[in-house]
Amino acid sequence: MKYTKEAADFLVYCIEMYKNKYSLSGKETQALFEQTGADIYILDSFKALHTTGVEYTLQDIYDFIQERKKQTD
């Protein structure tokens, strides 16, 4: 699927905000997002997520990642 530049920019923004909130490096955050599919989730949910506040968005991403981790344990 092809994503817009705005969606890609939003993904970068989410990576930056998430790494800062959870004290991760950029590489750690990128790897976490790729391993759990959070990167694709963010891109696919761009239209809804970018209209919410930062805290809601980060909580939504955190919840998504935790759910994916449960599925793989």
- Specify the pLDDT at position 24: 98
How far, in Å, CA of 34 to CA of 32, rounded? 5
pLDDT bucket at 1, cuts 50 / 70 / 90:
confident
Q: Where are the domains of the chain?
A: 5-72
Encode pLDDT of 26-49 as tens digits. 999 999 999 999 999 999 999 999
Residue 41 Cα distances to 11, 63, 64, angstroms: 10, 12, 8
Q: How confident is the model at residue 15 (pLDDT cuts 50, 70, 90)?
A: very high
